[in-house]
Amino acid sequence: MFKFFTNKNWFPWSIGGSLLILISTWYQVQLDVMINEWFGEFYDTLQKALTTPNSVSEKEFIGYLFTFAKVAGAWILIAVFTGFFTSHWVFRWRTAMANYYHEQWLKARLTEGASQRVQEDTLKFARIMEGLGTGLLDSIMTLIAFTPILWGLSKQIDVLPWIGEVDHALVWVAILSALGGTIILALVGIKLPGIEYDIQKEEASYRKELVLGEESPIRAAPPTIGQLYNRVRGIHFKSYFHYLYFNTVKWSYFQGMVIVPYLALAPTIVTGAITLGFVQQITRAFGRVEGSLQYLVKSWSTIVELISVWKRLREFEYKLNSKINDASVKV
């Protein structure tokens, strides 16, 4: 699975491409930092214009909008380029995997489900890694960029409801809320990777019998195919039940987190100690830090699927390597 990074023929893509994705993602995050600063200035200007008539000129107000348009336009260009290049980069990873399997196909074909592993699972692996990999990189970069910003802005927020004085309160709220959500979701969804693996295993047995039935009239007969399908149905229904309570907890957590920054800011807001622009700026920075820390929570369902694909490919490569080693011993 990782020959893309160990085969020197792929180094220009695996190493050079990784650096390019890293740089473009970092620049994209820096543009997001600029947008966050713009939010503070713009909403302070908006508050000033609404409370004191004619204190802000039309030219000045429209100038803020054009500033946003320029920064947002640059962000869009970088985001589109990063996504386009990452898709090509991940497909090269898949190609490196596929080439290895192609070279060993005479031995690989003897392993049950070889065609599905080489075609379907490499495709799934590549697509999932594209989404999870870019998401992880963006989360790390965002966390590095926005944590100091939130730390600085939180100097003015030193009181929390029901708790009292806490230095840099919103930073600790973001860390604890994200960490708590991650632990809760990990515990609630601990059975999901195994269930997903079983789903793919039962689906593979069902599909294999159907394929054999195309070649032989004695295969895929009603009793056998019916039993296989019942097993497929059973494992799917089991997954529906487990995802029922997992999704209930997940979406309850996400909806509850919407009000958390405003709840933490409540004592400071009601005293009038901060401006509308400051509220917008700090809640946006809070959202970026918290969102980065919630990477595992947001990606858990996809991670479950990745674990299932990884298990199947690892099992396939283990069997393939065993056949290669056996052939070497015989020679």
pLDDT tens digit sequence for 231-249: 989 999 999 999 898 899 9
- Which pLDDT band, with edges at 50, 70 and 90, does 27 fall under? very high
- Amino acid (1-letter code) at residue 61: F
Q: Which carries the bigger pLDDT value, residue 297 or residue 329?
A: 297
Q: Which carries the bigger pLDDT value, residue 327 or residue 213?
A: 213
**Cα-Cα end-to-end distance for the chain:** 27
DSSP bridge partners of 160: 164
* C-alpha to C-alpha distance for 108 and 102, rounded to whole angstroms: 8
Contact 70, 63 (CB under 8 A): no
- pLDDT score at 160: 80
Q: Is 165 helix (H, G, I), strand (E, B) or coil?
A: strand
Q: Which residue has the tokens 């919407």?
A: 258
Mean pLDDT for the stretch of residues 307-313: 83
- Amino acid (1-letter code) at residue 176: L
- pLDDT score at 72: 93
CA-based torsion, 144, 145, 151, 152: positive or negative: positive
- Which pLDDT band, with edges at 50, 70 and 90, does 26 fall under? very high
Share of the chain above pLDDT 90, in %: 15
Sort 65 into a burial class: Cβ within 10 Å, 0-12 / 13-18 / 19+: exposed
- pLDDT score at 70: 94
Residues written for the chain: 331
Q: Extract the runs of DSSP E, i.e. beta strands, from the chain.
A: 159-160, 164-165
User: Among 310, 258, 300, 294, which residue's Cα sits nearest to residue 138?
Assistant: 294
Mean pLDDT for the stretch of residues 195-199: 86
- On the question of pLDDT at 2 being above 70, the answer is no
Contact 172, 311 (CB under 8 A): no
Q: Which of 55-69, 152-166, 210-224 has the lowest average pLDDT?
A: 210-224
Sort 135 into a burial class: Cβ within 10 Å, 0-12 / 13-18 / 19+: middle
- On the question of pLDDT at 28 being above 70, the answer is yes
Number of domains into which the chain is organized: 1
CA-based torsion, 265, 267, 270, 273: positive or negative: negative
Highest mean pLDDT pick, 23-37, 92-106, 129-143, 208-222? 23-37
Domain ranges, residue 177:
3-330
Measured CA distances, 282 to 7, 32, 109, 264, 291 (Å): 46, 14, 57, 11, 14
Contact 24, 96 (CB under 8 A): no
DSSP bridge partners of 164: 160
User: Among 32, 281, 289, 21, which residue's Cα sits nearest to residue 144?
Assistant: 289
Q: What is the pLDDT of residues 74-115, one digit of tens each?
A: 999 999 999 899 888 888 888 888 888 888 777 777 776 777
Contact 156, 268 (CB under 8 A): yes
- On the question of pLDDT at 67 being above 90, the answer is yes
- pLDDT score at 309: 83
- Which pLDDT band, with edges at 50, 70 and 90, does 179 fall under? confident
* C-alpha to C-alpha distance for 211 and 63, rounded to whole angstroms: 65
- On the question of pLDDT at 216 being above 80, the answer is no
Q: Which of 165-169, 209-213, 231-235 has the lowest average pLDDT?
A: 209-213
CATH number, domain of 159, equals 1.20.1560.10
- On the question of pLDDT at 268 being above 90, the answer is no
- pLDDT score at 234: 92
Residue 249: CB atoms within 10 A of its CB come to 15
- pLDDT score at 328: 60
DSSP string, 48-86: HHHHSTTSS-HHHHHHHHHHHHHHHHHHHHHHHHHHHHH
Q: What is the pLDDT of residues 49-59, one digit of tens each?
A: 888 888 888 88
Q: Extract the runs of DSSP E, i.e. beta strands, from 155-200.
A: 159-160, 164-165
Residue 19: CB atoms within 10 A of its CB come to 9
